[in-house]
Amino acid sequence: MAHNGDNEAQSPELSEPIEARAVGGTEYSWCKAVPIGTGVTVLGLLLSKPPEITILQNALHNLQNSHPILRSKIHLDPSTQTFQFLTPASSNVQVQQFDLASTARIVQAQSNGDDDPFHTLLEDQLNDKTWCDYAPRNLDVLYASVYTLAHDRVAVFLRLHTAACDRAAAVALLRELLHLFSGAGTAEIGEEKVSLAIEDLIPEGKMHKPFWARGLDVLGYSFNALRFSNLNFVDAASLRRSRIVRLQLNAEETKNLLAVSYQLNPLLFSNIFVLV
């Protein structure tokens, strides 16, 4: 998850020496995807009592020091349309705090009144346009926010650029964050020294896996064949407009979906155990 670049670089926004490397192919795809609506990873914690901000700040600084990519900034060279990770020597994240009144205004503006405030704030975080335009400044890959809810509840959100932390890495990141909280923000988690892009971390000869690729294609074709006409959307006439699609299937609906998938392509089930 972390990296250190091999080359020293200097940015107009960063007065200290930084390390830089070009993004890899997968990272480049996420950099291009963010402005059009995806590529944002959000971790949300709903707490029964307010956390000590200093402990949270220490925990985040420890995470950034252990995983340098989390303290990086994404730089776009407009002349070549290429991206770089610029990694300063020290951590830089600042926790943005919202009191009860500020949180209530955000929830009221984003919700139609009958939604869980935590889910409303989660949507707001996912829909945030932090990385909609990289130029002309360098943008952090990690942002932290604390919202004060009613009934002594507090929501803590980490918003990350997926080029630096995807969904799988976010699970490990959450575990480390909780471990740091238990140690008052100062627990030791070690430091990574990875300077390569994702593709360069795969051993030579292991990048091409036609069997796995075929299994993924079979799964994708089967579900794509169902189209969206089979999904029943409730409350479609609501005034609320969310850019996030939710779909929840109960046991019977899941059974029917798998049955239709099997009829469309029996080969799906010969590969499903491999995919899982």
Peptide bond into 51 cis (omega under 30): no
Instruction: Judge whether 174 and 43 are in contact, CB under 8 Å.
Output: yes
* Residue pLDDT, tens place only, 149-159: 987 789 999 99
Confidence of residue 114 (pLDDT cuts 50, 70, 90): low
Helix or strand holding residue 252 (H, E) = helix 251-264
Q: Where are the domains of the chain?
A: 7-201, 210-275
For range 233-259, the mean pLDDT: 71
CATH architecture of 7-201: 2-Layer Sandwich (3.30)
- In this predicted structure, the answer to whether residue 192 has a pLDDT above a threshold of 50 is yes
Neighbour tally for 245: CB within 10 Å: 8
Instruction: Provide the token pair at 219.
Output: 């799964």
Which pLDDT does position 146 carry in this prediction? 95
Report the mean per-residue pLDDT for the chain.
77
* Residue pLDDT, tens place only, 8-67: 444 445 556 678 889 988 889 899 888 877 889 999 999 988 888 888 998 999 889 888
Coil, strand or helix at 93: coil
The fraction of the chain above a pLDDT of 90, given in percent, is 20
